Chains A and B, each alone.
Chain A
Amino acid sequence: GQNIDQPTEMTATEGAIVQINCTYQTSGFNGLFWYQQHAGEAPTFLSYNVLDGLEEKGRFSSFLSRSKGYSYLLLKELQMKDSASYLCAVSYDSGGYQKVTFGTGTKLQVIP
């Protein structure tokens, strides 16, 4: 099976930087997604990493190390609206199909 681990909850201050980590043990690994999910809403796509390294997209950046089975999502200049759950999801080959399995999510609370 797929084993994905991320912290359950985090708290950070408005304007600060926060890093949300995700570790995984996945056979047939293709890549790693990050999704944002506000309470009562559907997940929305943030990023997808296939190669090692950092990808920056505005205030959000995502990093991947395939050899270490590790990724993080970096949020800069935090805003109150960033309070949400952040889901790490791995894409992998399974029986000739591509599947995506989600981690349990990290609930981020941004405080003034």
Chain B
Amino acid sequence: AQSVAQPEDQVNVAEGNPLTVKCTYSVSGNPYLFWYVQYPNRGLQFLLKYITGDNLVKGSYGFEAEFNKSQTSFHLKKPSALVSDSALYFCAVRDMSGGSYIPTFGRGTSLIVHP
């Protein structure tokens, strides 16, 4: 079985400060991991994914995420937050050894960047 947790419903950060949105996962085998962003009244947009290789993955809009196998985490980061980064962020996981190729999504974390 595969599952993903986003332990924070909301993250508040000041513009210009670094931001982190947390994600932890549980799989039987190795994971495929994804981050998506949803701006108000929009569908989800892909940010980045980890399949294999380097643990640090770089994505769109200056975001990056670090895969940590020992901590089963895939936290999303950005060195300097912008007000326009305010949105809902979803982490998703798919177990490489699982029978289903459908990813499981977390409940989402609302990021609020204050001017």
Chain A partners chain B: no
